[in-house]
A and B are shown apart, each in its own frame.
Chain A
């Protein structure tokens, strides 16, 4: 581990890259924006649409983060902070979506389309009638 902490390094590079770099990134972002707009028009299945849109958005995001926010030439600590926060966003997504996907189909909201289980949906695919004959609760 470095004996001196990174704040003491004398040789912190002062980047003097030209302003042109930003215009290149800007143009790339615009291309990607219209790209995602176009891809949305293509006739594809809904999950494919979702995946494509997220992929393009992720590309745009990495461009912004690396160049506009200077994470490319930032110290290790800043990069670590960004990557750790993305990791924990992933953890949150993963566990919650796994849970909602594998839930007992009737525990999802009443009239939601339930994910079809590999073993097929049980008898009440969309919630049995209301045997108590009472109006649905709430507003």
Chain B
């Protein structure tokens, strides 16, 4: 949910009630950070559930982590970090007015995001075959009490994260299109920054999700 930026004709149009472009940029950035705070608290609720149930069923969580596809998780982490890099670079170039390079970098980030989703899809499919379905848990290897709960948390956290990745991809594509329409300049680069902030947050959540679900 990205707060509406200024009306985006070709050149930068300062909304009537802001006195200077800096004021507008500051306001938009502050608005985005507040929105990021809500996202952080949304995922915090899920992490609290993770730790509470880990307190109840430590055995299930340890065995569960062992039976998750470690390589899929690690490659996904590397992919997301690289896409974070390319988005940061895109923001950097957009800020200096080089719209085309920013556009290409955003395209690369979007591709990385799609690869992340594909790997996630394969992992889910693999889980469905194994029978580790949250609604009908018949997974053979992990039969400790609370195992079904581990997989429920796994599907909730990664599912909500994947949903946010999709939203992020949508935002990045919209900004990429505007990049190729050459709309950003040193004075007006707010949308690129907001899209970047959102994508970095999605990466931030995965940075915490990866060790908790896959490694520990």
Contact = CB atoms under 8 A, between A and B. Distances in A.
A61 B56 CA distance: 27
Contacts of B48: 92-93, 96-97
A35 to B, nearest CB: 11
B212 A97 contact: no
B215 A60 contact: no
Contact of B200 (A30, A53, A64): A64
Interface in B162-205: 186, 193, 196-197, 200-201, 203-204
Contacts of B26: 6-7, 12, 75, 77
A93 B22 CA distance: 37
The number of chain A residues touching the other chain, given as a range, is: 35 or more
A111 B144 CA distance: 10
Contacts of A108: 56
B72 interface: no
Contacts of B78: 30, 33
Nearest to A36: B211
A40 interface: yes
Contacts of A64: 84, 200, 203-204, 207
Contacts of A6: 26
A9 B25 CA distance: 12
A115 interface: yes
Contacts of B216: 40, 46, 49-50, 53
B120 interface: no
A54 interface: yes
Given A22-B85, A64-B203, A75-B30, 16 more contacts: A8-B23, A19-B92, A36-B215, A37-B74, A49-B215, A53-B216, A54-B212, A57-B210, A64-B207, A68-B84, A82-B33, A89-B41, A89-B47, A92-B45, A93-B48, A101-B55
Interface of A: 6-9, 12, 14, 16, 19, 22-23, 25-26, 29-30, 33, 36-37, 40, 46, 49-50, 53-54, 56-57, 60-61, 64-65, 67-70, 74-75, 77-78, 81-82, 84-86, 88-89, 92-93, 96-97, 100-101, 108-109, 111-113, 115
